[in-house]
Structure formats: structure tokens, C-alpha cells
Amino acid sequence: MSSPRTDPPTLEAERFLESAERELLDRSIETQQAEWVYATYITPETEALAARANARLIAATVAIAKRAVPLATPDLPGPLARRLRLLRLVLPLVAPSDADEAKELTRIVAALQGAYGRARYRPAGRPDPLPLEELEQILKISRDPAQLADVWTGWHAIGAPMRRDFARYVELGNRGAREVGFPDMGAMWRSKYDMAPDAFAREVDRLWEQVRPFYLSLHTYVRRRLREEYGESVVPRRGPIPAHLLGNMWAQDWVALLPRLAPAGSAPAFDLTALLGQRTTDPVEVVRYAERFFSSLGFDPLPASFWERSMFARPADRDVVCHASAWDLDFVDDLRIKMCIDIDAEDFRVIHHELGHCYYQRAYNHQPFVFRDSAHDGFHEAIGDAIALSVTPEYLVRIGLLDRAPGPEGDLGLLLERALEKVAFLPFGLLIDQWRWKVFAEEIRPEEFNRSWWEMRRRYQGVAPPAPRGEEAFDPGAKYHIPANVPYMRYFLAHILQFQFHRGLVRGAGGDGPLHRRSIYGERAAGERLRQMLSMGMSRPWPEALRALTGEDRMDAGALLEYFAPLRAWLDEQNDGEELGW
């Protein structure tokens, strides 16, 4: 019996995809290699090499996306149709077909990222300019409002020179997006979530409304405690919190305030940073802890090349981009991380997050090239963070960092610490792309970049700059992801999904106890369910991947609210008599 005849449109689509994905893989490897060298050795030459590699990748992507459009006929089998659709969404940036404009756009993107990586500021009284990570340490430690304002203002000044290039990047990026069928870059970014762009915007608004009351409660408590410390002339009774007082350059993480905010009698019973320091842990050993977590779930160890080629510490002889990131240079097993690791609790958890990317990348490396990605980008960010939620006192006992787990009397302190990291982040994670979507849609014009930025930060976060900021500034440029052209909504989604993932995994592992004290360390059954979901990559719509891991097919903040339930009740008591909001 002869085999069924392949439909000509299907055969044409299959041949096109085979050729297109092979070309995109080759170009992507070339670009990853060039960008790795640039990020770990910033010079004008490596910047130019990265720009040229990016230009070639973008040109190939645009050409392939345009050729894919007429092949996407209604009668194609589902997987083929999905691959053709995703070809238009491989990159967050599509250059115009005009060669000069494409070259200009890639130069601008490389220059913006390079300007961020080279940025320094010399605070008052210091002999030398300091990089971002040292400025951040001042914000974490100092309680002098004048010093904090100086450091905050000095770093934010790096954005002003980027303003004109950013406006041109928006213009050229939108032109490229329209050439592949999207009204603007924002619509293109939102189209990667298996729903219409406007429907996705409504979905994130729904998730924010679920968690907003909890954020307001946390904000009100923090504002009151800071007002008690600094006085009402610095921190108002009602109104936004001055951003420079929150212990983080972007007020996206308030963990540095924990010693001043912890409930009486419930301060954390141990200091993970001190525990790591007592064992003279070096950066490589911090990464080994995270690798062993994944090994306990049944995952294979990382390849030897990971340890040989990753960047774990800031080199003394050159400029690098220290921002933590995970890399898959050949889209098979050349896995790496790039990070200037501090031996502290924060980076201990960040390493678990970054290795989550690496294990995800390896799990889907058998898929067709356009499916070698997470179900949606929030999944990629959430996997490692869900693992980090298993960094409980009980886990630290099992790996020998802690002699015994403290009792539940310390839980409020642990939950407050995590809320200052996770819940404080939520509105910032939302507004970064809310602002860019409006910029891309030309609802925000270049002459109102900074004003609109601070209007949105006040509306969502309830924070304000230490002094008025005019349009001569470009404060969005002081946040890495904006000059680096990295979509940010993934982080907001990840901060919702990580709790949903955690709840789904611990439920499958059995046992009992409050959600915030559960860990999946050593749970092979949870590891197998995790592996099955990771291996799907982007081959199926994200609700199917979510169902495979959690049994649910809708993103939901209920797990987050369950996780923090004891803290929410306590905050409500503390805020009695205070006016919520600003």
C-alpha cells in the first residue's frame, strides 16, 4: 500500500520550515557567540562585532517572517501552522527592510546596551566612580537621605544621553514590526502569549487586580515605618514613598529594609548570608548548591563546558555586563551563566533561578528550533524562582548550611522578607512594559517620556523621585532591560506563576504543612512532572503546559495569596487606623 500523499501546501511549508529553521539556528548561534564576547569583554570592537551579528540575524529573521506569511494557510496541520506563526516572533526586535535603517537600528541597540554596561557614578566624598553593584550597596546600607538621593540621582543621570537613540529605536523598531504584520512593537510582543494582544493586556490587568490589595497593605506598612524613622517631612503620611529610601535603585525590591521592618520577636532565626560566609563559600560552590538541587530531582549534572565557560565573578581587567543571565550558545548543550556573584542570600537564590533557565533550555533542545523556548517567557523566569521557593529552612538543614530548622514563630519574618522581594516587585514588573507599550503605540510621545514614566510609577508603585525630574532626563534608561531591548512582562508573570508552580509541585509531592514551608528538594516524582513540562518547550499553547505541571489552565494569583496568608493577616492588624494607598 502506498503512503498517503502529502498535500502540496503542507509539503511546501515543511520544506520552508526545515530551511528557515536551519538558517535561523546558524544565525542565532553566531549572534549568541558575538553577544557573549561583547557582554563579557566590552570594547568598541566587540560592540561592533555584536552589532553586525545582530544585523545579520535580524535581516534573516525579517526575510523569513515575510516569506512565511503566504504559507500560513488555514488547512495546515496545527504544529506546522504554529511554527510558521512563531517565526514572526523569534526576536523582540525586527529591523526595517531598508538596509541603512536596519544597520542603524542594530547599532543603536548595541550602543544603548554598551552605554549601560560602562556606566559609573562618583558619589560625593568618593575618590573614584563606582559601578552599579557598588552603588546599590550604598542604597542598601545607608540611612542618610542626602547620600541616598545623591547615589540615586547620579545613577539615573546615565539615561539622559540615551534619550535620542531610544526615540529613534522606537521609530525604526515599529517600522520593522509593521513589515511583518503588527501595528507596533508592543502588539508584536503581546502576540507571543497564545491570545490576541488586547486580550493579553486585559489578562495582566486581571492578575494585577488580584494582588493589588495585598500590595497596598504592604506599601502602607512600609510607608508608616519609614515615616517613623525619617519623619513626616521626608516620608508623607499619605502619598507616594520617596524611591531612594527603599533600598533598591528602582524601588523594585525592598528587602534591604527588612531589619527595620521585621515584626517584634519574629526576626529570621538565621542569616543565610552569614552562613554562606562562615563556610568561605566561593562563587563556584554557590552554583554547585543549585546544581545539586536539580540533581536531587533526577536531572543530569550540567556539562563540563558550563563550568569552564561561564562567568561567575567580575573580571578585574575589563568592563562586563554583570547583570545575571543564562545563555544557551548552541541551543543544544553549550549552557552558561554570566553573573558577578556575591556570596549572599540574594545571589544564592538568583543562582537557583538562573540554573532554572539552563535546565529548561536543555530539556527542550530536541524540539524544532522555533519551539526551543518556554511555553511563554513568564514560564522561563518562573521555573527557577519556583525552585528558589523551596530554599526553606528545612532545605538548608538537608544541605548542611543550617543545624536545625527554626519553629513557626519565625515565619512572619521569613514571609515579610519574601514579600519585600516578590510582592513589592509586582507593580514595577507590570509598569515597565505598560509604559513601553504606550510608547510603541505612540500614545506617549518622546517629549513626555519622563513625565509619563513617573506618572505610571506613582500610579502603580506609589513611589516618587527624591526631587522633581524634568524631560531633560530619561530615567527609564537607568533600568537595564529598557536600553537592552528586553521585554519585561515575563517577570511580572513569573512572580505570579512561580507560586502557582510551587503549589502544583508540592501538592504532587504529598506531605503537609503551610505552603511557605514546603520544599520539593529530593522529590523525584515532582522532578519528573517538571521534566515533562519543560520538555514541551513552546510546542503547545501555554495553558497545556500549565495544566501538565499544576492541573490548572489559567494563570492565577491565588497560590501567591495562599503562600502569604499569615503575613496578610498580620499586615491588616498593623495597618489599623492607617489610610491605604496614595
- Reduce the DSSP state of residue 327 to 3 states and report it: strand
Which of 491, 494, 559, 563 is catalytic? The answer is 491
In residues, how long is the chain?
Answer: 582
Is the pLDDT confidence value at 37 over 60? yes
Which of 35, 47, 354, 523 is catalytic? The answer is 354
579 is an active site residue? no
Helix or strand holding residue 355 (H, E)? helix 345-363
491 is an active site residue? yes
Q: Residues 46-67: what's their mean pLDDT? A: 88
Which of 219, 244, 353, 502 is catalytic? The answer is 353
Which of 381, 417, 421, 523 is catalytic? The answer is 381
User: Residue 99's pLDDT band (boundaries 50, 70, 90)?
Assistant: confident
481 is an active site residue? yes
381 is an active site residue? yes
Q: What is the dihedral of CA 521, 354, 219, 394, to 10 degrees?
A: 20
Q: What is the CA radius of gyration of the chain?
A: 24
156 is an active site residue? no
Contact call for residues 533 and 504 (beta carbons, < 8 A): no
Give the residue carrying C-alpha cell 515615616: 227
Instruction: Report d(CA 544, CA 503) in Å as an integer.
Output: 17
354 is an active site residue? yes
Q: What is the pLDDT of residue 219?
A: 98
Read off the pLDDT of residues 102-150 as tens digits, 9 standing for 90 and up. 889 989 998 998 899 899 999 999 999 999 989 999 999 999 999 999 9
pTM for the full model?
0.89
Read off the pLDDT of residues 214-234 as tens digits, 9 standing for 90 and up. 999 999 999 999 999 999 999
Read off the pLDDT of residues 461-482 as tens digits, 9 standing for 90 and up. 999 999 999 999 999 999 999 9
Which of 115, 167, 324, 565 is catalytic? The answer is 324
Q: Residues 349-373: what's their mean pLDDT? A: 95
Is the pLDDT confidence value at 9 over 80? no
Read off the pLDDT of residues 508-565 as tens digits, 9 standing for 90 and up. 777 778 999 999 999 999 999 999 999 999 999 999 999 999 999 999 999 999 999 9
Instruction: Report d(CA 155, CA 130) in Å as an integer.
Output: 10
Is the pLDDT confidence value at 388 over 80? yes
Is the pLDDT confidence value at 2 over 70? no
Decide which of 282 and 153 is more confident: 153
Q: What is the pLDDT of residue 266?
A: 66
Read off the pLDDT of residues 77-96 as tens digits, 9 standing for 90 and up. 888 999 998 988 888 988 88
Helix or strand holding residue 185 (H, E)? helix 185-190
Read off the pLDDT of residues 313-346 as tens digits, 9 standing for 90 and up. 999 889 888 889 999 999 999 999 999 999 998 8
Contact call for residues 21 and 368 (beta carbons, < 8 A): yes
User: Residue 264's pLDDT band (boundaries 50, 70, 90)?
Assistant: confident
CA distances from 477 to 229, 481, 502 (A): 31, 8, 34
Q: What is the pLDDT of residue 6?
A: 52
Domain layout of the chain by residue ranges = 272-409+489-551
Which of 156, 219, 323, 352 is catalytic? The answer is 323
Q: What is the pLDDT of residue 502?
A: 96
Which of 481, 484, 525, 544 is catalytic? The answer is 481
Q: What is the pLDDT of residue 43?
A: 92
The alpha carbon of 42 is separated from its chain's Cα centroid by a whole number of angstroms, namely 23
The amino acid at residue 460 is Y
Instruction: Report d(CA 328, CA 31) in Å as an integer.
Output: 11
Which of 357, 376, 495, 516 is catalytic? The answer is 357
Backbone angles phi, psi at 311, to 5 degrees: -110, 115
